[in-house]
Chain A
């Protein structure tokens, strides 16, 4: 159940000209409300922005005196600019935990016993951080494919977390300055061709990337979960503002039914 929480900024690190690493004290939102990576917080960004801004949770931890949540965000417009100007000690008005996060039975409480799985984590750009926790918390082998526009965007503080936790981490850049030259879906295709053991793909990134990853996953018959974005107002499922169309013609809502959906449910041509 979501709550409204006044959160204190306890760490603020600039990763590059437009990207920030922010750690918040979130009360007991992790311990008591189950906040986890892949969910999002809906943050009031000053008095001049009427609507809150949704930002995904990258890392969470139980802590004293308060639980911690790490957000990694890019400055896009006025709201995220305001957020980037916060400093340690500043307070934020936050709603959370919101959304579902990836469905991974292994790290959900009531899981009893399941057969071995092999997860493929696929992230693009600012969609990479929400996957960090999924690299760490699973008992099975994980492989990561991370795509960035250019080398400078592949922050070592983010990438190293995958390299430490996953069996293998493949890097791709759009301009070829680091790792494989090209988009992540090419790498994903190569991996699925070589290795039939993957049981699940978890993907987060821009919509065109998700669409192409979903296509490759469908070709190889590997179940794929995607984290979607849409413009939001309430963030809790009341206003029906954040609708996305499903293959069956129905509407679902990113803030409440998502942001994570099964790729085969989504109408990619809408």
Chain B
């Protein structure tokens, strides 16, 4: 169906993606598992599972609860640590023609800096800075909820990274544009949003929350309208390129995020229903662009005509 002349490629902070579909951090591991279902080179990029400076075992189970058209997760950043990623996982990813985006979380701004240095040196294409995690020094308050904390982490990351830095925003804030501006002023090269929304489910018979740590992060189709709105708000507030995500499972979902202002989109939870969802999103998007007579998918970015 794809028209020959349609250009699918996009740019995200100077990094050229062969198509605008990326997979979302934490839903795709380091690519090995879904790589059994399709060639990873078909993707625009891969946001890897969130890394920390040291290995982490994550939260106790249950970690997954289904919700209407969504899921709650409380995986809790289980990962092998940044060094093991560089040693064991990056070489595998590098065998594919796909942009590798490392996702990092730190307990302190200094940890972000150290990870950025190691990952830049190891040769990832971009670093996605997850600021939805608690700041140990600031009494466990999430970096992503305070402009000054978010800015501090961004500065630290930028100082130590030699590849573009994309800051991932949390939707669990009163005004996301305030954080976006702070991060932009601190030198971020791109923004990604949205991370998961805090949520909870309770088993009425046992009166226990389904998740062992009581609360979790909501993702999946249920959050798409929130994502579209926040991308639109942020795109209106700052000039940075945006990787939009949250509930994308079709080409039309992706097109909405692009129109709202995103330059590329990430697909996460939709993978669990269909391992090939990212490719279907890509093809659906191409079809929409072709149908509208565009010569490049990137022409959709920011094309919303608000009332």
Task: Give, as a whole number of angstroms, the nearest-CB distance from A94 to chain B.
Answer: 12
Would you call B58 and A240 a contact (CB within 8 A)? yes
Would you call A245 and B61 a contact (CB within 8 A)? yes
Contact with A along B33-45 (1 / 0, CB 8 A): 1101100000000
Contact of B58 among A2, A52, A251, A256 (CB under 8 A): A251
Contact of A240 among B34, B63, B271, B272 (CB under 8 A): B63
Task: Give, as a whole number of angstroms, the nearest-CB distance from B215 to chain A.
Answer: 16
- Dominant SS among interface residues on chain B: loop
Provide the bound-state CA to CA distance between A232 and B36, in Å.
19
Chain A interface: which of B22-30, B82-90, B154-162, B254-262? B22-30
Chain B interface size band reads: 20 to 34
Q: Which residue of B lies closest to A49 (CB)?
A: B66
A89 proximity list for chain B (CB < 8 A): none
A241 at the interface (CB under 8 A from B): yes
- Dominant SS among interface residues on chain A: loop
Interface size on A, residues (CB 8 A): 32
Would you call A50 and B61 a contact (CB within 8 A)? no
A51 at the interface (CB under 8 A from B): yes
Contact with B along A220-262 (1 / 0, CB 8 A): 0000000000111111111111111100011100001000000
Would you call B272 and A249 a contact (CB within 8 A)? no
Most buried by B among A2, A93, A238: A238
Would you call B60 and A238 a contact (CB within 8 A)? no
Would you call B29 and A239 a contact (CB within 8 A)? yes
Would you call A238 and B70 a contact (CB within 8 A)? no
Contact with A along B52-72 (1 / 0, CB 8 A): 000001101111111001110
B272 proximity list for chain A (CB < 8 A): 50-52, 233-235, 239
Contact of A233 among B32, B36, B58, B73 (CB under 8 A): B73
A window 49-87: CB within 8 A of B = 49-52
Provide the bound-state CA to CA distance between A30 and B75, in Å.
33
A3 proximity list for chain B (CB < 8 A): 36-37
Chain A contact residues, CB within 8 Å of chain B? 1-4, 44, 49-52, 93, 95, 230-245, 249-251, 256, 270
Chain B contact residues, CB within 8 Å of chain A? 26-29, 32-34, 36-37, 49, 57-58, 60-66, 69-71, 73, 75, 78, 220-221, 269, 271-276
